[in-house]
Chain A
Amino acid sequence: MKRVYVNEEYCIGCRLCEIHCLVQHSQSKKIIKAYKEEAPQLMPRLVFEEEGPLSFAMPCRHCADAPCLDACITGAMHRDEETEAVLCDEDKCVGCWMCVMACPFGAIQRNLKGTKAASKCDLCYGEEMPACVAHCPNEALTFEER
């Protein structure tokens, strides 16, 4: 399957990935509206890490053998049959955080201000290219089949 790959050497720490991830998952899909009216219930679905000159974005790896799928007690976490992406059905999620405990990438976050559910990358479901990759100015994120 196509995955988002991270190349930390190319990351310049602009955090556009975070911004466009949030906008893509907003109601309005408009940057100003998303930030002024919809945040803070919204959060970026990837984790951005930065320390000194080093930085990178960490979206879900959509593991072939995903520990979060084993850990989920509600069936919210599931593999999409079509795209093979690991998706979280936020209506089913009860916020037990077993997935947060299980994910070795720390790629699943708690959305405590909005859905109260697990928040993770859905590869911008339905889009040809995830927003984080599309807006990365330096190809630190790529979307490809390896």
Chain B
Amino acid sequence: MRYVIIGNSAAAVGAIEAIRQHDTENPITVISDEPHHAYSRPLVCHLLGELVDEERMHYRPPDFYEQLQVEPMLGVRATAIDTQAKTVSLAGGGTVAYDRLLLAVGGKPVVPPVAGVDLDGVFTFTKWEDAQNIDRYIRDKDAQSALIVGGGLIGMKAVKALMARGLRLTVVELADRILSTSFDHTASKLAESILRRASAEVITGTTVKEIVDKDGHVDHAILQDGQVVDCDLVIFGIGVRPNLDLILPEPEKNTGIEVNRGIVVDERMQTSVEDVYAAGDCVETYDIILEVERPIAIWPHATRQGHVAGCNMAGVEKTYEGGFPMNSEDIAGVATIAVGLTAPEGQVPVEHLEEYEIIKRYDRAAQTYKRLVLHRGRLVGAICVGDIDRAGIYTGLIRDRVDVTPFKEHLLSGSFGLISLPKEYRKHMVVGEGIIV
């Protein structure tokens, strides 16, 4: 029996570790088009910002593959899957046979069809290679300024990196505010003012129309509203979507693997094809708050899904119950956390809005903001800007669907903690032997 994993990030590592908990015998092969030993994608911005060195990119020890008896095929691209013959084809010829396959192929950055995207000095920002390319460009061209397209989480990571490098930054966001999918209006505006105070320019309500070169590399960008932004480089940080390159287009690829917005999987992380599993940013899974299947591309979910997939691949039944978005993001030195459904006003149908209650506290002097979203008495979302201490308690209340009505008035108090929770729930938490997610 041979396990084959395509991909080498959080979901793949989660799966490898889970498989080896239950099966120390059968071989595992990891195929990745990147040449690197497993590394942390979220640290790519720290690497570019010179906040960590290359050694610290690796979040598992150098002998990880040897210890867990994994055969790594790094720098090798998987080009096709034959789900009938149970083989994976490789670029440059050759195939690898599998008995159980995991697709942990991640996401692909979204780049809109804008004039000039192919110019020297235009980048995406999700992989190690991106950080290397941008770093080299900054050094070679002595780049002083950058335009970051997209004011979401990837855009914020680009800001963090390039601010640390001392570049003059402009962020352009098509929505009327940055971080529009994870923040509400107030938090977004606060984040914008934090960025502006840190000398980044923020332009909302428009996006880039054309990137213009001088001698073949980026010189400036023209926005849809006509503004001209001088910049030595452009980073597209609009977002990622599931990487479906091995499956689409149908019917040419003919894998039989069902896809929707991402790869469709069951609770065991198995795709519609037996013995083919998928996990991480490439799949869509159950959003337990919105009660829909959708891709939620975040690190903790990828790790967990990989773990569940690995257990099932090794023959140990385990189910993934779904999740909800959660992110912890540093914005120009200010810690922020957004968990769950944070802004129902933009995310649920208008006729259901009355079921939601918002409680919030904005401390103008301290520049901190908290907003909690309740749905029929249960906490479903939380935003914390500036003060994030103990925010995980909110995450737990959201996950456990606890009715917070009896202690609602304590949720935003300065002394909020486990002590504010009903005795029964608290005792269950405090006395128990830790949670089983």
Complexed CA–CA distance, A74 and B46 (Å): 11
What residues of B have a CB within 8 angstroms of the CB of A8 in the complex?
Answer: 426-427, 430
Question: Taking A67-B435, A70-B303 as contacts, is the C-beta distance between A94 and B46 under 8 angstroms?
Answer: yes
Complexed CA–CA distance, A104 and B299 (Å): 17
Q: How far is the CB of A33 from chain B (nearest CB, A)?
A: 28
The reply to whether B419 and A50 contact each other, CB–CB distance below 8 Å, is yes
What residues of A have a CB within 8 angstroms of the CB of B59 in the complex?
Answer: 72-75, 92
Complexed CA–CA distance, A5 and B43 (Å): 35
Complexed CA–CA distance, A109 and B392 (Å): 10
Tell which of B326, B399, B431 touches A6, judged by Cβ atoms closer than 8 Å: B431
The reply to whether A104 and B42 contact each other, CB–CB distance below 8 Å, is no
Complexed CA–CA distance, A67 and B52 (Å): 24
0 or 1 for each of A83-104: is its CB under 8 Å from B? (1 = yes): 0000000001011111111111
Complexed CA–CA distance, A79 and B397 (Å): 25
The reply to whether A97 and B388 contact each other, CB–CB distance below 8 Å, is yes
The reply to whether B435 and A65 contact each other, CB–CB distance below 8 Å, is yes
Interface residues of B in 421-437 (CB under 8 A from A): 426-427, 429-437
Question: Taking A67-B300, A98-B300, A100-B337 as contacts, is the C-beta distance between A105 and B393 under 8 angstroms?
Answer: yes
The reply to whether A54 and B419 contact each other, CB–CB distance below 8 Å, is yes
A25 within 8 A of B: no
Complexed CA–CA distance, A101 and B437 (Å): 15
A108 within 8 A of B: yes
A80 within 8 A of B: no
0 or 1 for each of A54-74: is its CB under 8 Å from B? (1 = yes): 111010011111110111111
What residues of B have a CB within 8 angstroms of the CB of A64 in the complex?
Answer: 433-434, 436
Complexed CA–CA distance, A57 and B158 (Å): 39
Complexed CA–CA distance, A31 and B418 (Å): 29
The reply to whether A104 and B429 contact each other, CB–CB distance below 8 Å, is yes
Q: List the B residue with the shortest CB-CB distance to A57.
A: B430
Q: List the A residue with the shortest CB-CB distance to B392.
A: A103
B395 within 8 A of A: yes
A127 within 8 A of B: no
Complexed CA–CA distance, A7 and B427 (Å): 9
Interface residues of A in 100-130 (CB under 8 A from B): 100-106, 108-110
0 or 1 for each of B38-68: is its CB under 8 Å from A? (1 = yes): 0010110010000110001011100000000
The reply to whether B417 and A101 contact each other, CB–CB distance below 8 Å, is no
Q: How far is the CB of A3 from chain B (nearest CB, A)?
A: 6
The reply to whether B434 and A61 contact each other, CB–CB distance below 8 Å, is yes
The reply to whether A101 and B399 contact each other, CB–CB distance below 8 Å, is no
Interface range, A side: 35 or more
The reply to whether B60 and A75 contact each other, CB–CB distance below 8 Å, is yes
The reply to whether A101 and B337 contact each other, CB–CB distance below 8 Å, is yes
What residues of A have a CB within 8 angstroms of the CB of B43 in the complex?
Answer: 73-74, 94
Complexed CA–CA distance, A109 and B395 (Å): 15
Interface residues of B in 205-240 (CB under 8 A from A): none
The reply to whether B299 and A105 contact each other, CB–CB distance below 8 Å, is no
The reply to whether B337 and A51 contact each other, CB–CB distance below 8 Å, is no
What residues of B have a CB within 8 angstroms of the CB of A5 in the complex?
Answer: 431
What residues of A have a CB within 8 angstroms of the CB of B390 in the complex?
Answer: 47, 100, 106
A146 within 8 A of B: yes
Tell which of A70, A74, A106, A108 touches B417, judged by Cβ atoms closer than 8 Å: A106
The reply to whether A71 and B299 contact each other, CB–CB distance below 8 Å, is yes
B166 within 8 A of A: no
A49 within 8 A of B: yes
Q: List the A residue with the shortest CB-CB distance to B337.
A: A101
What residues of B have a CB within 8 angstroms of the CB of A108 in the complex?
Answer: 392
Question: Taking A5-B431, A66-B434, A102-B300 as contacts, is the C-beta distance between A96 and B328 under 8 angstroms?
Answer: yes
The reply to whether B328 and A101 contact each other, CB–CB distance below 8 Å, is yes
Complexed CA–CA distance, A73 and B153 (Å): 15
Question: Taking A105-B396, A108-B392 as contacts, is the C-beta distance between A98 and B431 under 8 angstroms?
Answer: no
Extra contacts, 4 of them, besides A75-B58, A101-B337 (Cβ < 8 A), are A50-B419, A96-B328, A103-B395, A104-B399
A-B contact pairs, 20 of them (CB 8 A): A51-B420, A56-B419, A61-B432, A61-B435, A67-B395, A67-B435, A70-B300, A72-B59, A73-B40, A75-B58, A75-B59, A75-B60, A97-B335, A97-B337, A98-B300, A100-B392, A101-B391, A103-B396, A104-B392, A105-B429
Query: Which positions in B face A, CB cutoff 8 Å?
Result: 14, 40, 42-43, 46, 51-52, 56, 58-60, 299-300, 303-304, 307, 326-328, 330, 335, 337, 339, 388-393, 395-397, 399-400, 415, 417-420, 426-427, 429-437
